[in-house]
């Protein structure tokens, strides 16, 4: 298979590595030669590290490198069977690139976008043959993260969806098929991990370090929400939240937090700026959490039930299957277990009671219980047998 990658940044280069490793002939396109040079050097370093770790040998390294070429003309992708775009999250720019690309590729070439938040239907509408368009959303770093969300637009043909799904499976990735709704699976379902943590902080219940400690110690999360927001970048995470909030017609469940907005405005972006919710400057001392077990349980339960509620609602609205939702959260963002599996373990009645208690306390729509959870509780059902 011949694969064209549009954009030679971290994500585009990572996807190219995945495809080349699987034996595809890959061309990476970028308008800037220095970006292409950087991508080539980055791949050299990555493969060198894999040799040191004993994951590949020199022959395999040369095979992967030999499968990738670097081009600065979009027309050079004309012989591709599949193209994947991984450029700036700007709908107008993507549409312009797709419209031009279509004039060069064959009629049966699949044109895919790696967008994490934009409508696939809107992107597909820029094409003369919109049925060839599909979302193929990798997670960073693409070579390491197992999950890929495949998102058909309403225009996408069944044949294109099947081919895209099979190709990604052949690349040894776990596929989760998602409905073309804001945030797809992961960026929708994960919102409460950040949003409810920020709300707990804004209410003065606990500081950043204590909230992070509670989620890691009781929940088994690898990083707490504030550590993770600092890692992602507060500007990036805030923009995704704002995008999902707007796309859902300002549903209160996705309402951004003023704390994150102010940190972004102040330039406290996290690790990349040297300061976020934590100070990353040399010699800085990380704050000590308040290790109160009762407080930790309150924090953990509140964040977990909000995550479960979001996962249940995604299932209720046919965004994805229960299995794909759980796979998305464990393999896309490394959650310790699937949220719907967690709901079964905690008990559906426990979930409904926790949500109703918060709703009765706050009378805010953000705490409304998913109709699916309420129905399952009434009927004594669980998500998995």
Residues 162 and 235 in one domain: no
Q: What pLDDT sits at residue 61? A: 97
Domain end position, chosen among 152, 177, 202: 177
- Please name the residue ranges forming H helices in 251-317: 258-265, 293-316
Last residue of a domain, one of 133, 154, 177: 177
Separation between Cα atoms, residue 358 and residue 91, nearest integer Å: 38
Per-residue confidence in pLDDT tens, the chain, 385 aa: 999 999 999 999 999 999 999 999 999 999 999 999 999 999 999 999 999 999 999 999 999 999 999 999 999 999 999 999 999 989 999 999 999 999 999 999 999 999 988 999 999 999 999 999 999 999 989 999 999 999 999 999 999 999 999 999 999 999 999 999 999 999 999 999 999 999 999 999 999 999 999 999 999 999 999 999 999 999 989 988 998 999 999 999 999 999 999 999 999 999 999 999 999 999 999 999 999 999 999 999 999 999 999 999 999 999 999 999 999 999 999 999 999 999 999 999 999 999 999 999 999 999 999 999 999 999 999 999 8
pLDDT at 117: 82
Same domain, 153 and 258: no
The domain that holds 173 is classified in CATH as 3.40.50.720
- The structure tokens 């709901």 sit at 343
Q: What are the backbone dihedrals phi and psi of residue 174, each rounded to the nearest 5 degrees, phi first? A: -85, 120
Total domains, the chain:
2
Q: Examine the domain organization and report whether 95 and 197 are in the same domain.
A: no
Contacts of 33 (CB under 8 A, 6+ apart): 72
**Same domain, yes or no: 326 and 236:** yes
Catalytic residue numbers, as ranges: 116, 137, 149, 187
Q: For residue 60, what are the contacts with CB-CB under 8 A and spacing of at least 6?
A: none
Per the CB < 8 A criterion, the answer to whether 259 and 198 are in contact is yes
β-pair partners for 338: none
Region of residue 28 (left: phi > 0; alpha: psi -120 to 50; beta: else): beta
Pair of tokens at residue 169: 């499976």
The H or E element that residue 327 is part of is: helix 322-332
By residue range, what is the domain housing residue 355? 186-385
Residue-level pLDDT at 55: 95
Instruction: Identify whether residues 207 and 243 lie together within a single domain.
Output: yes
């Amino acid at each position: 298979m011949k694969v064209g990658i549009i954009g030679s940044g971290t994500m585009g280069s990572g996807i190219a590595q995945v495809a080349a490793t699987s034996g595809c002939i890959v061309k990476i396109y970028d308008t800037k030669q220095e970006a292409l040079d950087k991508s080539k050097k980055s791949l050299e370093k990555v493969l060198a590290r894999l040799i040191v770790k004993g994951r590949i040998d020199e022959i395999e390294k040369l095979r992967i490198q030999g499968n990738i070429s670097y081009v600065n003309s979009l027309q050079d992708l004309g012989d591709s069977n599949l193209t994947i775009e991984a450029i700036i999250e700007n709908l107008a720019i993507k549409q312009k690139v797709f419209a031009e690309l279509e004039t060069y590729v064959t009629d049966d070439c699949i044109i895919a976008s790696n967008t994490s938040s934009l409508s696939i239907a809107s992107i597909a509408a820029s094409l003369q043959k919109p049925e060839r368009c599909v979302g193929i959303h990798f997670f960073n770093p693409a070579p390491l993260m197992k999950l890929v969300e495949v998102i058909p637009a309403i225009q996408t043909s069944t044949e294109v969806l099947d081919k895209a799904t099979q190709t990604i499976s052949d690349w040894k990735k776990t596929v989760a098929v998602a409905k073309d709704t804001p945030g797809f699976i992961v960026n929708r379902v994960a919102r409460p991990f950040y949003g409810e943590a920020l709300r707990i902080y804004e209410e003065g219940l606990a500081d950043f370090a204590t909230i992070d400690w509670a989620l890691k110690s009781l929940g088994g999360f690898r990083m707490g929400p504030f550590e993770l927001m600092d890692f992602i970048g507060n500007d990036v995470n805030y923009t995704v939240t704002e995008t999902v909030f707007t796309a859902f017609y300002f549903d209160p469940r996705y309402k951004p937090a003023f704390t994150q907005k102010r940190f972004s405005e102040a330039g406290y972006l996290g690790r990349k700026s040297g300061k976020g919710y934590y100070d990353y400057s040399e010699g800085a001392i990380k704050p000590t959490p308040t290790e109160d077990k009762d407080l930790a349980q309150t924090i953990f339960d509140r964040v977990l039930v909000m995550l479960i509620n979001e996962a249940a609602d995604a299932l209720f609205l046919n965004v994805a299957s229960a299995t794909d939702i759980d796979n998305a959260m464990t393999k896309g963002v490394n959650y310790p277990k699937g949220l719907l599996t967690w709901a079964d373990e905690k008990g559906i009645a426990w979930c409904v009671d926790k949500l109703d208690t918060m709703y009765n306390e706050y009378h805010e729509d953000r705490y409304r219980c998913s109709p699916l959870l309420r129905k399952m509780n009434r009927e004594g059902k669980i998500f998995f047998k």
